[in-house]
Homo-oligomer: A and B are copies of this chain.
Amino acid sequence: MWFLRESSENFFNVSPDCLYLTFIYTEIIVEEKEDSLLSGVKEIARRAKVSRATVDRVIHNRPGVSLKTKNRINAIIEELEYQPNVLAQRLALTSRGILRLAVLLPDISQETEYWKAPLEGINKAETEIKQYGLQVDYYFFDQNEQAVFAEQVRLIMENKPDGVLITPTFETESIALLSYCKAKKIPCVLMNSDIPGQQRLCYIGPELFDSGYLSAQLVHYCLKEKQKVMIVNIAREIENNVAILRKEEGFLAYFKEKLSEDLLVSLNTTDTSYPAVAGKLNELLQEEYHVGVIYVTNSRVSLVAKWLESIGRNDIILIGYDYLDSNIEFLKKGIIDFLLCEKPQEQGYRSVMTLFQFLVFSTVVKEDYLIPIDIITSANYRYYRN
């Protein structure tokens, strides 16, 4: 029988598509049929002539075992290539007390449909791990209300959770929470956007710079001669919005590198209502009628799509973000051409699962799980999975 050896230990593997990173390919070997009936703690104990409790101590490197027995047991473990049965492990741990995870997320509002997806992923993870003694407490905030964010951070600290998951929308307060976690040795996962240089369990989300860079590359492929490119930021807060700034940086970097910044026309609006956006666009298009491609730096791309539709311009290529119903509608119609997506549901799911694994199994967590940057068009959106 042929198989590839790997460092297993991930029964609770969260995703087949993380194979690419976790899979440690070593060699193809021929396995000798091992008497799999005789492995397990029991068999080790039998061979070492000790009790199962002692074997357990050695396996988990707990104190209270003489070096001699320890060595003896370890030898047998090696010989048997012992792999713990994760099922049994977890079942036995069921009796332990409840662990509480604090999750700090933006509200799901009309304006920010986006956050529904990460929340769904978190909810899904929650239902899966609930019966194993984990509890998730939610703290929501309005993305335009820094004070609420601060208050929620305070509450989290007050409640002394066992693990924390946040989207670090406001940097100062986020850093305060991270320091708190560090001091209390509480693992903290950052999701969706990162704060560089901070200590945390890990970051789970996209590499935003490259997301902007990729957009520029797509623009380049679509750009015809003598055309200009419009980059549009639509958000109440632009200056403080880490995500937007990083994407813009990547986008500009590409233009500096391969094209020219002279091709770029910028449009910023902190009024996110449709009339405001449309008004600004109309104005700008008067001056710059050679625009061939528009890049919108976030999920608000449907506003621009609506405008393009209203003025009957479907010759302009439109690129934006996120698999939202409103965006998909325009994608189908051919008004939006490309949507970049970063699996928001998976981000939420994986973040919680990472905390779970870390807390319950002391699984080593690789820093920074960078989510793929997916390109969605009208021809492949049907098969996309958030």
How far is it, in angstroms, between the C-alpha of A301 and the C-alpha of B98 when the chains are bound?
Answer: 54
Once the chains bind, are A16 and B345 in contact (CB under 8 Å)? yes
Q: Which residues of B contact A138 (CB under 8 A)?
A: 1-2
Stretch at the interface among A120-128, A163-171, A262-270: A120-128
Once the chains bind, are B21 and A217 in contact (CB under 8 Å)? no
Q: Which residues of B contact A137 (CB under 8 A)?
A: 1
Q: Which residues of B contact A213 (CB under 8 A)?
A: 379
Q: Tell me, rounded to whole Å, the shortest Cβ–Cβ distance linking A195 to chain B.
A: 20
Q: Which of B127, B217, B224, B371 contacts A8 (CB 8 A)?
A: B127
User: Is A221 in the interface zone, CB < 8 Å from B?
Assistant: yes
User: Is A46 in the interface zone, CB < 8 Å from B?
Assistant: no
Q: Which of B210, B343, B383 contacts A373 (CB 8 A)?
A: B383
Once the chains bind, are B207 and A383 in contact (CB under 8 Å)? yes
Once the chains bind, are A346 and B17 in contact (CB under 8 Å)? yes
Q: Which residues of B contact A88 (CB under 8 A)?
A: 91
Once the chains bind, are B224 and A222 in contact (CB under 8 Å)? no
User: A2 — nearest CB in chain B belongs to which residue?
Assistant: B138
Please encode chain A, from 218 to 245, with 1 for each CB lying within 8 Å of some chain B CB and 0 for all others.
1001101000000000000000000000
How far is it, in angstroms, between the C-alpha of A345 and the C-alpha of B21 when the chains are bound?
Answer: 12
Please encode chain A, from 108 to 147, with 1 for each CB lying within 8 Å of some chain B CB and 0 for all others.
0000000000011101101110111001111000000000
Q: Tell me, rounded to whole Å, the shortest Cβ–Cβ distance linking A385 to chain B.
A: 4
Q: Tell me, rounded to whole Å, the shortest Cβ–Cβ distance linking A235 to chain B.
A: 23
Please encode chain A, from 344 to 386, with 1 for each CB lying within 8 Å of some chain B CB and 0 for all others.
0110011001000000000000000011111101111011111
Q: Which residues of B contact A36 (CB under 8 A)?
A: 130-131
User: Is A259 in the interface zone, CB < 8 Å from B?
Assistant: no
Chain A residues proximal to chain B, CB less than 8 Å: 1-4, 6, 8, 10-11, 13-21, 23, 25, 36, 83, 85, 87-88, 90-91, 94, 119-121, 123-124, 126-128, 130-132, 135-138, 206-207, 210, 213-214, 217-218, 221-222, 224, 254, 317, 337, 343, 345-346, 349-350, 353, 370-375, 377-380, 382-386
Can you sample 19 A-B contacts with CB below 8 Å?
A: A1-B138, A3-B127, A4-B124, A6-B124, A6-B127, A11-B128, A13-B128, A16-B121, A16-B345, A17-B343, A19-B121, A19-B349, A85-B131, A207-B382, A214-B379, A221-B221, A224-B224, A374-B380, A375-B377
